[in-house]
Structure 1
């Protein structure tokens, strides 16, 4: 199979193309999200790592990497979405404004008494489920988590340690989502799922809004160092919730002056790529086992909210062989010169891996590089969404050389 497959989404910059109205990412909502996250115990902005030697090596002006392995000690960004969505759901249940419910109030005896017992349910490859379980545990509530077949034992154990009732199923991710939804309907559990479909879009939008804290932090970190905004942003996608959230907020902040955005997916689960390739404006699913080392991106059905945002605002979609992610992991683990070492998992490293391949194989991908407009003035942003959430898998790639460059 070829290393990369790509499609240029010309609609995103076409002034004659009628986009759907972008809702949910206005300043007021994003401030509410940010203030809520700052109220969580142990909140601290994750590092925005400057890879200046790597930038010089590849002939660009800047390379930044946002390191989400430092998020609340959970080794991944997903808790940002689950925590805000649960907080928002509870605020509505209690009839209160979010500003009245910082986290120390939500976990109080008084609020627990008002709420009674609540069970939150979700399906996950690991990171999202751990975030939901962590929040439920802090709230002294219950959580039920279903994982797709082949899920790593380390990810299972991490969720179980948060007190969740967790099961590795014999289903792929999308069928595990359906199983969780069935449980919610039968038992009255609250479904906290980071994908959306017709009839289930409110909580997924809250989850996406929760991810906006990443961009808020980046904007503040760049302002603190008086840096210009990125010209190019590489965003990994599974169902597209993370990518759609970041893209939506970038579109709201910068409008037509937003960075060029490149969506990255594994060949084995490239539903956003397939949807953009079809060029009919509709989401398209990928079925089967969704085989890839990028477990967090092994999703075959696009989030209905995210798809519209990505369709209308993202510039490129690239489907990647697993070796692209493996390469990114190794580069970040073995930095050049004084650049900071970053431990990035399979789903976290694909964006940096893709950039490195394009920068090194300029002649092979000359057409794509020309359309991307990457040159000596480019400022590249990648977001590592997870650390080594599967230590054995990480060692197999970084130590043992699994999925070598070809």
Structure 2
């Protein structure tokens, strides 16, 4: 059900591109966007008691700009930086509502997405008066396609998996002279993925500001590792990499970070990458954020889909006295993992991770019910149940 690997390559080395100072600049950009507000940091004291830890804090990204997911933080900042560079001005001079007037004609931005990143890019492009073309891998839910199209973007579902869809989007951008806004990197394409990962630091900066106590454990989900690396990089710089344990979780069908962590260098996973956690079903690590994950993570974990489904049910149906959190498949993996780790059968893993009655655990629920039909099948009807 889960595989846990302690990181043998931990050094605690931080990165200047994911620092407290950079996070302040990023957050200043987000703060000037109409409708910006910090998302809630939800404390679950009753669940903490039940699981045997001191505190559980959940950053609820279903409230971000009305888009039901965190990804808009990266997409909007990257588009802002791209437009600032195009206009040869500082990012502080980019106002979403007026930037279109500085251009002779709208620019076209394109990306590949499992859903939430494309939504963020489409929203940011619309807000800035630009165009967006979004590519999605085969099997993508119609709800995600409709959401992206509803934001005014063109959305094309391909016949290939996520990583091959990224390659298709890149080639199409080159052929048409469009701007690619991709949240993973490769040789020669690092700047924009760096901006995207830096954009995600805003939610971590908010969480540190909102928390009443410093976390002892931070559980982060990874697809290519863009979010996990950006958040971990910020927290390592802000709090000190050795002051908390960072645990990186992935679906077993696409556990490229888990395998990379075991080897100490990037390892790709191929195949269909099929998982209910569509946002995490990525087989190739992001080389921009991989060094941070290698240097500052305590452990890597690979889990089955039913672990994320369990996390969704726990968050959506809380113990009396705790507040509910609507969390989608990719958002709830870490809650399901925490629950599993604190069961009797996983006691050895919990001890190795230092999870006990003094632990303050920080989680990021990165999306709400972005696929409402599947959310109901899982939470109402018990699809993907755990079996002990």
In structure 2, stretches of 5+ residues that fail to align are none
C-alpha deviation, 1:33, in angstroms:
0.5
Instruction: Say if 2:107 and 2:131, in contact at 8 Å, map to a contact too.
Output: yes
Tell me which residue corresponds to 1:151.
140
Shift of 1:255: 2.2
- Matching of residue 97 in structure 1 with residue 82 in structure 2: no
Whether 1:385 and 2:366 are equivalent positions in the alignment is: yes
Q: Aligned pair in 2 of structure 1 residues 134, 256: CA closer, same or farther (>3 Å)?
A: closer
SS at match of 2:3: strand
- Give runs of aligned pairs for residues 55-204 of structure 1, distance below 5 A: 55-107=48-100, 109=101, 111-113=102-104, 116-204=105-193
For the Cα contact (< 8 Å) 1:241–1:306, is it kept in 2? yes
Moved more, 171-180 or 251-260: 251-260
Alignment partners' CA distance in 1, 2:209 and 2:38:
10
Whether 1:250 aligns to 2:235 is: yes
Cα-to-partner distance string for 1:212-248 (whole Å, 9 max, x where unaligned): 00111111112xxxx2211001100000000000111
Return the offset for 1:183. 0.6
Say which of 301, 313, 318 aligns to 1:335: 318
Residue 171 of structure 1 aligns to a residue whose secondary structure is: coil
Q: Paired residue for 2:253?
A: 268
1:296 counterpart = 2:279? yes
Conservation of the 8 A alpha-carbon contact between 1:39 and 1:104? no
Q: Which runs of 4+ in 1 moved over 6 A?
A: none
User: Equivalents in 2 of 1:392, 1:356: separation in Å?
Assistant: 24
Provide the rounded CA distance (Å) in 2 between the counterparts of 1:39 and 1:103: 9
Other structure's SS at 1:330 match: helix
Q: Does 1:9 align with 2:7?
A: yes
Deviation at 1:198, TM superposition (A): 1.0
Instruction: Report SS of the residue matched to 1:274.
Output: helix
TM (norm. structure 1) is: 0.93
1:329 and 1:343 in contact (8 A); partners too: yes
Q: Distance in 2 between matches of 1:149 and 1:122?
A: 15
Which position in structure 1 is the counterpart of 2:198?
209
Shift of 1:56: 1.0
Is 1:37 matched up with 2:30?
Answer: yes
> Structure 1, unaligned stretches of length 5 or more?
none
> What TM-score, normalized by structure 2, do the two folds share?
0.97
CA distance, structure 2, for counterparts of residue 26 and residue 57 of structure 1: 35
Distance 2:25 2:355 in 1: 35
- Whether the 8 Å contact between 1:68 and 1:384 is mirrored in structure 2 is yes
* TM-fit CA distance, 1:103: 2.8
**C-alpha separation between the residues in 2 aligned to 1:232 and 1:356?**
14
Aligned length: 387
